[in-house]
Structure 1
Amino acid sequence: MSPIKSPLANAVLRSFRENGKRPDAAVPVNGDGLKVATYNVHKCVGVDGRFDPDRIFEVIREISPDLIALQEADTRFGERTGLLDLKRIEAETGLVAVPVEASARAHGWHGNVLLFRDGAVRDIHREKLPGLEPRGALVTDIALNNGISLRVAAVHLGLLRWARRQQADHIIGLLGRRVEAPSVIMGDMNEWRLGDGSALKKFEAAFGSLPPARASFPARWPVLALDRIIANRDGLVADLAVHDSLLARAASDHLPLTALLDTSVLKGDSAPGDGLSAAAGL
């Protein structure tokens, strides 16, 4: 019998093998470095259909990141309204939201929120992404307390494949290619395939080999690696793990993806400049 060649079928089979061994506690990333994460919080609605921002807060506290990108942290329709208690998050975890000022009540930009623990924000760019759906990217230059400067793009790509390709092109043009500042893209890519028509293929062509895929969706039985952390420097993403705790399996339809950034590879690297690529149009 010939082997199954469908990428989805292979993902399902791999999921059955891996999920049969799921521990009750999340396996953390290992080593020294900057702990980062990306988490689609699904507007704080868990797999049980219950709106519960406290569960999202507790998952963030479990992860204990230095930097975390959240998606769907605001309501989507009408006036965007933030769904999390940012003051509580800051008081109990030390994480501060990058100020966006998109509207009086929103926490982020098109639902994208970036929280960081130590450092200073040097520049903030709010980008509208192409496509039929309202999508955006929040791009922030952060000077870390260890002397390293990093450009972080918090993104949530669209549901339509052609739109994701356009959005990937826009983000790549915005950040520049490998010769530009050290950059990390974190978010829900809504894509798991790596074929020629994939948005992920575009990131790979621009930034080099992608870090390994980790299935993060759906939370109850992860099959698809929709969430990604991508860097434009070899070795910067040193370790990856899905935060697969019992609480995380209930709090959202996605599991958080965590990574360890080895910032030692950036010693002597250029800091982000005063502006982004000319493609930004800011």
Structure 2
Amino acid sequence: MPDPPRRLTALASALLLLHSAATPGVAQEPFRLRVLSYNINSGAGDDSRVDYDRITAAIRAAEPDVIALQEVDRGMVRTGNVDQARLLAGRLELEHAFGGNFEFLGGEFGNAVLSRFPIAEVSNHPLPSPDGGEPRGALEAILDPEDGPTFRLISTQLDHRRDERNRVAAAEWLASLADSPGASPAVLAGDLNAPPGSAPVDRLLERWTPLERGPLRTVPARGPRTQFDHILVAPAGRWRVVETRVLEQPDASDHLPVLAVLELVPASP
């Protein structure tokens, strides 16, 4: 049996370790995260055939922690009345949330989030569209990992038409989500229907930080020529980029998925 001084020393050491773990400003390990952004084209590849095995395999190959999906059907006749977000989440053993933007063919069309972390809260934001057209939205999910900090994932798709007015208006609105007072760090991922250097992307970069140093060509899926699919983060000081790349999955959709490996850095005291 240790003598009293040794017991006191052991107790003091344990208390010091607990204090260090709980004290702000003590160095902590960054939280690593694999993020996938994927426009799944309602599950249809460039052959126009809906194939859930292909989409599932393309997502699984990336081994993502969280996925931002666009062009997702729920209950539409054209895709067999399937709730695609629920189906894919079930196959991949992930949690999911769906945000419908408009009703079509007996169901809904919109964005989704899949996550291996608990989804604590979901908000589906309609995006401004001063020029009319198909309604667009941004699905914001607050994710609460048991082994890491809370963060937000926002999945979105902007207007596809040649005129940029809707995209610019939506980008200006999305900029406000970057660092809302009291909000947790965020990842914005989706099909912006706009390449780097365009007006909508430039508006977003006023408040969001891009991950790539150069264009990552994502469309068309076979022989891609430009980048419409983007992943951005905010605030810049909380995120460290480990890797960003386009995945060669030309059969499952008309877009290629983008994978980012990130580290969420502990907040400064």
Counterpart for residue 273 of structure 1: none
Indicate yes or no: 2:49 matched with 1:84: no
Counterpart for residue 187 of structure 2: 184
Secondary structure (helix, strand or coil) at the match of 1:206 reads coil
Q: Kindly report which structure 2 residues correspond to 1:114-263, keeping only aligned pairs within 5 A, or say none.
A: 114-118=113-117, 120-131=118-129, 132=132, 133-159=134-160, 160-176=163-179, 180-195=183-198, 198-208=199-209, 211-212=212-213, 213-234=215-236, 235-244=239-248, 248-263=249-264
CA gap 1:63/1:260 in 2 versus in 1, 3 angstroms: same
CA gap 1:61/1:135 in 2 versus in 1, 3 angstroms: same
Q: Deviations over 1:68-106 (max 9, x none)?
A: 01111116989995453735643x432221265899999
Q: Kindly report which structure 2 residues correspond to 1:88-103, keeping only aligned pairs within 5 A, or say none.
A: 89-90=89-90, 92-98=91-97
Matched residue type, 1:52: D
Counterpart Cα distance in 1 of 2:116 and 2:212 = 24
Q: Answer yes or no: is the 8 Å Cα contact 2:186–2:233 preserved in 1.
A: yes
Counterpart Cα distance in 2 of 1:242 and 1:135 = 24
Structure 2 length-normalised TM: 0.74
Offset, 1:123: 1.8
Q: Answer yes or no: is the 8 Å Cα contact 1:39–1:187 preserved in 2.
A: yes
Counterpart for residue 6 of structure 1: none
User: Structure 2: where are the runs of 5+ without partners?
Assistant: 1-30
Q: Deviations over 1:194-245 (max 9, x none)?
A: 14xx11101111124553331111110011111000001334333101111x
**Percent identity at matched positions?**
28
Matched residue type, 1:147: G
Counterpart Cα distance in 2 of 1:87 and 1:96 = 11
Which of the pair has more CA radius of gyration?
2
Structure 1 length-normalised TM: 0.71
Matched residue type, 2:84: L
Instruction: Judge which range, 37-46 or 229-238, deviates more.
Output: 229-238
C-alpha RMSD of the superposition? 3.3
Counterpart Cα distance in 1 of 2:170 and 2:127 = 6
Higher relative contact order (CA 8 A, sep 6+): 1
